[in-house]
Amino acid sequence: MVKIKVFGTTPPCAKCMETEKRAKNAAEKFSGQVEVEKLDALSKEGDKYTVMLTPTVVINEKVVAVGKVPTEADFESAIKKELGG
């Protein structure tokens, strides 16, 4: 199981919403193998990853993007890598 955490602001900004949307679109291509979670940057979970800029993307406990919106292809590539493919 690949876990994608998207850290953003509350209420969410346009970049954070777009990042979450792209993550979910990419996850749909890997039926049942990817979980996408939206979290607040100002939370204990955000503190754990030292989130300073939004959006911040964490995949399987690794920070992979900070302050930028990854493309769906970026997400797909990272998911494939995590699944060992």
pLDDT at 85: 77
Burial 29-62 (b: 16+ CB within 10 A, else e): ebeeebebebbbbeeeebeebebeebbbbbbeee
> Average pLDDT for residues 76-80, to the nearest whole number?
97
pLDDT exceeds cutoff 80 at 53? yes
Segment 46-73 mean pLDDT: 97
Average the pLDDT over 5-31 and give the result. Answer: 97
- Percent share of the chain, pLDDT over 90: 98
